[in-house]
Amino acid sequence: TFDPPTAAFERWDSSVSVSIAGVSFGADFVLVPGMSGFTLSASGVAGTCNLGAILNLNLDADGDPITGNCVCFTSIHFDFDFSFACIELVDVNIDFSDSGFDGISFAVKGLVVPNIPWLTLDAKVTFDDGVTGKVVSVTPSLSFGAFDCITLYGALLGTFPEITGFNVYGAKLAYTWNGITFTDVTVFDYPAYYVTSDLSIDDEGEYWEALQLKFDSDACCGGIFDFSVTTFFAKDSAILFDWGESVVAFSMG
């Protein structure tokens, strides 16, 4: 028998944004049965420094309403980044919640190790738990260099500063000929890593391989015509060839 569930309202999300004198303002409203919340944001540039702030009213860290329909302060997040000395980008984050100071962090990415061009370091120092806690993390990354049509994804094994090896966990092949682009993304270390919807590889997802054919050409009146078919494969799929889903996209303009 066919017995579909009764339709019911679950969630409403709406947003608006505007840019005035180089400053971008945004507002988001979330409504679920019996509860609602807001997010207000602002961002801009001062010299070489990028500034931003996000205010949550009755919303938790996941963007879900907490209780009722009150306009209650939940948290505020400040973010700014700048270049410093030989470091291209320093990212600073400061957080406050309704309980008070929630933490501050300083992060840098892509630090080049002298005489080891294939190794870069991401470092982060976080002060939390009021002013008593400190966490220092250093994450090494591999850079395989540039290939004409192949991208390799890899990670170093071990805990810094002791490196025990490296893991090549995926690869991406992309080639364009006469307006047609073929892309294949495959994961070697599944389920530790997955293919994402934007044809990259990350540690969250559900698919282990993706194939895409994309057609680009000129449309009438000077426009552009784009058409793509992307098929994802999942190893736990019970369908022929481990088929997970196919996405067809079309645009013209």
The ranges assigned to domains in the chain are 145-253
What's the gap between Cα 233 and its chain centre? 21
Digit-by-digit pLDDT tens for the chain (253 residues) are 456 666 678 889 999 999 998 899 999 999 999 999 999 999 999 888 899 999 999 998 888 899 888 889 999 999 999 887 777 788 999 999 888 888 889 998 878 777 777 777 888 888 876 555 778 787 777 766 666 788 888 877 777 667 777 788 888 999 888 889 999 999 988 888 889 888 888 888 888 899 999 998 876 666 678 899 999 998 776 666 788 888 898 887 6
Which residue, among 140, 143, 126, 116, has the nearest Cα to 91 in the 3D structure? 126
Angstrom distance (rounded) from CA 196 to CA 177: 24
Q: Which residues pair with 95 in a beta bridge?
A: 77, 103
Angstrom distance (rounded) from CA 167 to CA 140: 12
Angstrom distance (rounded) from CA 42 to CA 20: 11
Provide the whole-model pTM: 0.59
How far the first Cα of the chain sits from its last, in Å, is 45
Strands 243-252 and 12-20, sheet pairing: unpaired
Residue 77: the pLDDT is: 94
Q: What are the φ and ψ backbone dihedral angles of 34, each rounded to 5 degrees?
A: 85, -5
Residue 63: the pLDDT is: 87
Q: SS3 of 4, please?
A: coil
* CA-to-CA separations, 133 to 26, 74, 105, 138, in angstroms, rounded: 33, 22, 11, 17
Q: Which residues pair with 123 in a beta bridge?
A: 108, 138
